[in-house]
Chains A and B, each alone.
Chain A
Amino acid sequence: MEILNAFLVLANFVLIPAITYGSQLALGALGVTMIYGILRFSNFAHGDSMAVGTMVAILLTWWFQSMGITAGPLPTALLALPFAIVVTIGVLLGTDRLVFRFYRRQKAKPIILVMASLGVMFVYNGLVRFVLGPDEHRFADGDRFIISVPDFKALTGLPEGVAIRTTQGITVITAVIVVAALFWFLGRTRTGKSMRAYSDNEDLALLSGINPERVVMYTWMIVAGLITIAGVLYGLDKSFKPFTYFQLLLPIFASAIVGGLGSPLGAIAGGFIIAFSEVTITYAWKRVLTYALPDELAPSGLVQLLSTDYKFAVSFMILVIVLLFRPTGIFRGKSV
């Protein structure tokens, strides 16, 4: 019974939040890895592109709410999501046209594109703060819980409860659907294969009649979809704040690199590794250990390895360790 209680506490405070956060990171890291594989640079504007996508979704959500349109028990933001994706696609394609295409035509070295993306990052960052301000916004509505702690306790009669928030359920389900669709697209469709071919060998793709500009366009469209979904899910689950989204860049990059840059499977694995590390290292284990250990061994302190303020240090440490000992990442991506 004690062990079951320990597991319930663990599930409630570690497993479910980490799976949710991992799904969000995985979606973000998939975008990073696709740009790295196909456009061949690390997009520093990724976090702020997420913020732009989420901002559009928030504005649409408010507009829908003002017209009295809601999704019932689900967050209204889910209704706004498809439209937000379309707008974000427009923003990213416009940016590509204005900024990145020039360097592509010059056959610029990837490092030049990295620096250009840094500039784009500042512009997006400013744009979001200009429109929504630097403050925190909560835009989740609808039912808060799929199952709440009191419900769970009443249902099972157990002393400890597990809560699953609506946003957590939506995050995981959406992530699974999106990832499955992406893998199907890359592995089975003609366009998806042409993107892999272009990533593998640009010149030969050109000689095979694959239009590079088209491949790049599809990449930005997919990335826009991924980041808007990831950003909205993260914002629903926690809250939206421009600076937080900029900071998300680090765990997202860490996920992509840990899994192996250029490897979609690696991005997903990396996302969960980073999420679980962050949550387990910053979680206070006292309650779990009190249940799991015999009474005489029960800890008196909080048993928290790091304060949550240091959660970014966790991804940074993992990043350093991976780059030192296995630079290609778990799934042998393309970085060396």
Chain B
Amino acid sequence: MSNGGNPYRDDRGNKDRSITNPHGSGEIPLRDSGKTSRVEGESPFLIGENMTGGYGRNGPDILHDCTIAVNPGEIAVIVGPNGAGKSTAMKAVFGMLDMREGRVLLDGEDISALSPQDRVAKGMGFVPQTNNIFTSLTVEENLEMGAFIRHDDISDTMEQVYDLFPILKEKRHQAAGELSGGQRQQVAVGRSLMTRPKVLMLDEPTAGVSPIVMDELFDRIIEVARTGLPVLMVEQNARQALGIADRGFVLVQGRNGHTGTGKELLADPEVRASFLGG
């Protein structure tokens, strides 16, 4: 990541780890939240509407008038070629991007001005693509930290997560960093479910896992969506992802290329030709 023109983010080549510790340092900028407002009229449960923006105040726009939406009980999938802005679109919905235009509505409330952490408090569960678990903490501690904003009894939710991912119960006293790739993703999803979110956002949950594990993860995600929780995810494996999607968004260079149900998009000759490989 570039230093964005900020001289404080330039370490001038110093990599001396005996005095500086880059491990686990964050990239999400700390910022204060603005006000939210109710919005009249019908809109999807979660929608990022006409989003335009990029990283940093002066960075180039990556998204151009892009719209992403999901409703309860649905799985919405963002697919597209490399560099199309899939992850960026999801980050924009989550408030990790400087948006120049557009707005984000959650349950009829305009949350565009909220910081990412306040969006978590509003009920958005987000699983980043990488570094999505606390590697040095045990599986159980990971789940506990997921529920950090809750002050009620979390044991029921934890049981539900263990029911969904039985392997985690078995390994609950093991450090999460010692688990396999697929198990780590289960920890990551489990952690985000611990807040009892109103919407679950997954950034490439199957990145780097084997096809068998991928199928299993998709099964679990469908199971989660069936409970009524809206799931928005970015996927690299477009064909399988569109196969389970109720809504699909094909992004092309930061714009909405094609939108429709997963089946429609899979059947669309243009989508097939341009990036599903025929």
Known: A203-B28, A203-B128, A206-B116. A193 touches B145 (CB 8 A): yes
Q: Which positions 188-222 of chain A face chain B at CB distance < 8 Å?
A: 190, 193-194, 196-212
Tell me if B275 is interfacial: C-beta within 8 Å of chain A. Answer: no
Tell me if B107 is interfacial: C-beta within 8 Å of chain A. Answer: no
The 8 A CB mask of B95-112 against A (1 = contact, 0 = none) is 000000000000000000
Question: Of A190, A196, A202, A334, which contacts B137 at CB under 8 A?
Answer: A196
Is there contact, CB below 8 Å, between B14 and A111? yes
Tell me if B41 is interfacial: C-beta within 8 Å of chain A. Answer: no
Is there contact, CB below 8 Å, between A204 and B11? no
Is there contact, CB below 8 Å, between A197 and B20? no
The 8 A CB mask of A105-118 against B (1 = contact, 0 = none) is 11111111010000
Q: Which positions 1-48 of chain B face chain A at CB distance < 8 Å?
A: 6, 8-12, 14, 16-30
Is there contact, CB below 8 Å, between A209 and B117? yes
Question: Of A40, A197, A257, which contacts B25 at CB under 8 A?
Answer: A40
Tell me if A124 is interfacial: C-beta within 8 Å of chain B. Answer: no
Is there contact, CB below 8 Å, between A197 and B145? yes
Question: Of B18, B135, B145, which contacts A257 at CB under 8 A?
Answer: B18
Residues of B within 8 A of A40 (CB): 20-25
Q: How many Å from the CB of B16 to the closest CB on chain A? A: 8
Residues of B within 8 A of A167 (CB): none
Tell me if A247 is interfacial: C-beta within 8 Å of chain B. Answer: no
Tell me if A22 is interfacial: C-beta within 8 Å of chain B. Answer: no
Tell me if A83 is interfacial: C-beta within 8 Å of chain B. Answer: no
Cα distance A205–B12 in the bound complex, in angstroms: 28
Tell me if B191 is interfacial: C-beta within 8 Å of chain A. Answer: yes
Residues of B within 8 A of A198 (CB): 24
Residues of B within 8 A of A36 (CB): 21
Chain B residue with minimal CB distance to A209?
Answer: B149
Cα distance A199–B25 in the bound complex, in angstroms: 8
Question: Of A112, A203, A210, A334, which contacts B145 at CB under 8 A?
Answer: A210
Is there contact, CB below 8 Å, between B117 and A207? yes
Tell me if A103 is interfacial: C-beta within 8 Å of chain B. Answer: yes
Tell me if A271 is interfacial: C-beta within 8 Å of chain B. Answer: no
Is there contact, CB below 8 Å, between A105 and B30? yes
Cα distance A202–B117 in the bound complex, in angstroms: 12
Question: Of B6, B25, B128, which contacts A207 at CB under 8 A?
Answer: B128
Q: Which positions 99-131 of chain A face chain B at CB distance < 8 Å?
A: 103-112, 114
Is there contact, CB below 8 Å, between A210 and B20? no
Q: How many Å from the CB of B187 to the closest CB on chain A? A: 11
Question: Of A105, A114, A211, which contacts B19 at CB under 8 A?
Answer: A114
Cα distance A257–B11 in the bound complex, in angstroms: 21
Cα distance A80–B10 in the bound complex, in angstroms: 44
Residues of A within 8 A of B11 (CB): 109-112
Is there contact, CB below 8 Å, between A204 and B8? no
Is there contact, CB below 8 Å, between B26 and A202? yes
Known: A193-B145, A208-B191. A37 touches B128 (CB 8 A): no
Tell me if A335 is interfacial: C-beta within 8 Å of chain B. Answer: yes
Tell me if A53 is interfacial: C-beta within 8 Å of chain B. Answer: no
Is there contact, CB below 8 Å, between A200 and B27? no
Is there contact, CB below 8 Å, between A194 and B8? no
Residues of A within 8 A of B144 (CB): 190, 193
Q: Which positions 165-197 of chain B face chain A at CB distance < 8 Å?
A: 191-192, 195
Q: How many Å from the CB of B202 to the closest CB on chain A? A: 13
Residues of B within 8 A of A170 (CB): none
Cα distance A105–B16 in the bound complex, in angstroms: 22
Is there contact, CB below 8 Å, between B136 and A104? no
Q: How many Å from the CB of A109 to the closest CB on chain B? A: 4
Tell me if A323 is interfacial: C-beta within 8 Å of chain B. Answer: yes
Tell me if B146 is interfacial: C-beta within 8 Å of chain A. Answer: yes
Is there contact, CB below 8 Å, between A111 and B19? yes
Is there contact, CB below 8 Å, between A106 and B8? yes
Cα distance A264–B14 in the bound complex, in angstroms: 25
Residues of A within 8 A of B17 (CB): 261, 327, 334-336
Extra contacts besides A110-B20, A208-B149 (6): CB < 8 Å: A40-B25, A201-B24, A205-B26, A205-B145, A207-B116, A208-B195
What 5 pairs between A and B have smallest CB-CB spacing?
Answer: A202-B26, A209-B149, A110-B20, A108-B8, A109-B11
A-B contact pairs, 23 of them (CB 8 A): A40-B20, A40-B24, A42-B19, A106-B8, A109-B20, A110-B20, A111-B16, A193-B141, A196-B137, A197-B141, A197-B145, A199-B136, A200-B136, A206-B116, A209-B120, A210-B145, A211-B117, A212-B26, A257-B18, A261-B17, A327-B17, A334-B17, A336-B17
Chain A positions near chain B (C-beta within 8 angstroms):
36-37, 40-42, 103-112, 114, 190, 193-194, 196-212, 257, 261-262, 323, 327, 334-336
